Amino acid sequence: MEQSIYKGKKILIIGGTGTIGQHLTRMLLKEDPQVLRIFSRDEHKQYEMSLSFRSERERLRFLIGDIRDSDRLNRAMESIDYVFHCAAMKHVPACEYNPFEAVQTNVLGTQNVIQNAISNKVGKVLFISTDKAISPTNTYGATKLMAEKLISATELNKGDNSTIFAAVRFGNVMGSRGSVIPLFKKQIKDIGEITVTDSDMLRYMMTPTQAVKLILKANRLASGGEVFVLKMPLVRIGDLAVVMIEELAAQSASGTKIAIKQIGLRPGEKRFEELMTDDEVEYANETEDLYIIFSQYGRNDISKEAPGKKCLSKPVPQMENIISKEEIRAWLLQEELI
């Protein structure tokens, strides 16, 4: 059996108290690391997480800090082998109305991660991005695109430093804090009505388990500057709403039939998301479950040793990729999201 690359290693998860961070922590602990440092600015969530992982207190360290604070980040990275950068301002409306705050966290914060990883000679840094970075129409997407560019460009300007930087690009992670599933659940329970921007809106979605498996696979494959994208199925938002109503109607405070109210797009919101641009196809490979977009910087061709085969066309939303209501139901129950 192949030995884990994390066995005996020191790992830092930035934004580690979020949904992805906690799932990643749970899976990494199975790989027998020496220590896992959980870095975030949310002391209450750190307290709650410490209770959930009380049996692993010998290997977990909880560090209060903000990626805007470079000095604090530098201390957190001392002697670290692997960094997973999950921290972000990610709520679309919050970023729209507070754009420079999003810039400070998502862009300047990512640059702080890069600089301190280089200073501390970290082995690998994996940045968590989003499909909203593709042809962005909102501040959140634009800042994550900029952060992706910083990660990729570092491969060109890091000099003799051996730190490997790469990114993974997610769709919507089902059940993550601030996402649509917790919102629908609360609306069903409290007001007996679900609000959707558009029932026909399509979103690329993945479960937390799928997301973490992608992170670990990408980190294993990364050689520098890549963006890894999961081949995700599409979910029709109206179908998700219907399934959640069917499963949770008994919890409704109103005791009446639960309505679905369409309220229109929020500022900066897109009706359909994309996984990559037309230009990115030119320097991308694909495997059975991934697209691997290689860095444009200082690289004129794709190595023959890279995994997968040449990507021939841009993935586009297609009806056959929309999962059924029963598949949605199975995902929700399997991941204990409802």
How far are the Cα atoms of 64, 81, 124, 210, 261 from residue 10, in angstroms, in the given order? 18, 5, 11, 24, 48
Q: List the Cα angle 187/191/196 in 5-degree steps.
A: 45
Order across the sheet with 82-85: list the strands.
60-64, 35-40, 10-14, 82-85, 124-130, 164-170, 227-230, 290-293, 284-286, 309-310
Q: Which of 45, 132, 144, 270 is catalytic?
A: 132
Query: How far is it, in rounded angstroms, from Cα 191 to Cα 253?
Result: 7
Question: 111 and 151 in contact (C-beta within 8 Å)?
Answer: no
DSSP string of 155-207? HHHSTT---EEEEEEE-EETT-TTSHHHHHHHHHHHTSEEEES-TT-EEEEE-
Q: Is 132 a catalytic residue?
A: yes
Q: Which residues are catalytic?
A: 132
